[in-house]
Homo-oligomer: A and B are copies of this chain.
Amino acid sequence: MFIAMNRFKVIKDAAEDFETLWKNRESHLAGMPGFVEFHMLRGPEREDHQLYSSHTVWASREDFEAWTRSDAFRASHRGAGGTKPLYLGHPEFEGFDVIQTISRD
């Protein structure tokens, strides 16, 4: 299993706009091979930003990489820049391999 995360340092005044943008976007993930689940996460508030992280679970790293090369990926990210800056710097990508799992009893 592989988890792809993008960390966004959102300008505090723009947090509501950022959430609305994500909630209203057209997602192309649901039908992708190996896609398991997507979450948008609201993290801790820091001095100059509110942390958010997208969080996508894939069956494997290869499934994630195939998605980044797909037409659906390009369609999803078209116009992602928008017209108004919502966050500080660029989103920071981090990919994680699951090396241990504990499930509930």
Residues of A within 8 A of B (CB): 1, 3, 19, 22-23, 27, 29-31, 35-44, 51, 53, 55, 94-105
Contact = CB atoms under 8 A, between A and B. Distances in A.
Q: How many copies does the complex hold?
A: 2
B97 A35 contact: no
A41 to B, nearest CB: 4
Contacts of A29: 102, 104
A37 B3 contact: no
Contacts of A99: 19, 40-42
Contacts of A104: 29-31, 35-37
Contact of A38 (B22, B36, B102): B102
A3 B3 CA distance: 13
A45 to B, nearest CB: 11
8 contacts: A3-B39, A3-B41, A23-B100, A35-B104, A36-B104, A37-B103, A38-B102, A42-B99
* Interface hub of A22, A30, A100 (most chain B Cβ within 10 A): A100
A73 to B, nearest CB: 15
